[in-house]
A and B are shown apart, each in its own frame.
Chain A
Amino acid sequence: MAAEGTEHTSIWGRLLAWALLLGLLSLVAVQLSRSQRGILTRGEAAPPFTLTTFDGTELGPADMAGKVVLVNFWASWCKPCEQEAEALQTAWEQYQGRGDVLFLGVDYADTEKEALAYLDRWNITYSNGPDLGTQIYYTFRARGVPETFILSKLGEVAFVKIGPFQDLEGITTAVDRLLEP
Chain B
Amino acid sequence: MRKFPILLGLVLLLALFAGQAAAQEPTPSADEVNAIAKNLYCPVCANVPLDACGSAACVQWRQQIFDLLAAGNSEQQIYDYFVRHGPAVLAAPPPGGLNWLIYLLPPAAVLLGAALLWRGLSAWRQKAPPPRGETRKNKYSNMIEDELKARR
Chain A residues near B (Cβ < 8 Å): 27, 75-79, 108-111, 113-114, 130, 132-135
Contacts and interface: CB of A to CB of B under 8 A. Distances in A.
A111 B86 contact: no
B7 to A, nearest CB: 44
B57 A135 contact: no
B64 A113 contact: yes
A111 B64 contact: yes
Interface in B32-85: 42-44, 55-57, 59-61, 63-64, 67, 84-85
A134 B86 CA distance: 6
Nearest to B42: A109
Contact of B57 (A109, A113, A134): A109
Contacts, number: 37
Contact of B85 (A76, A78, A134): A134
Interface of B: 42-44, 55-57, 59-61, 63-64, 67, 84-86, 88, 98, 101
A110 B85 CA distance: 8
A77 B55 contact: yes
A130 B81 CA distance: 13
B57 A132 contact: no
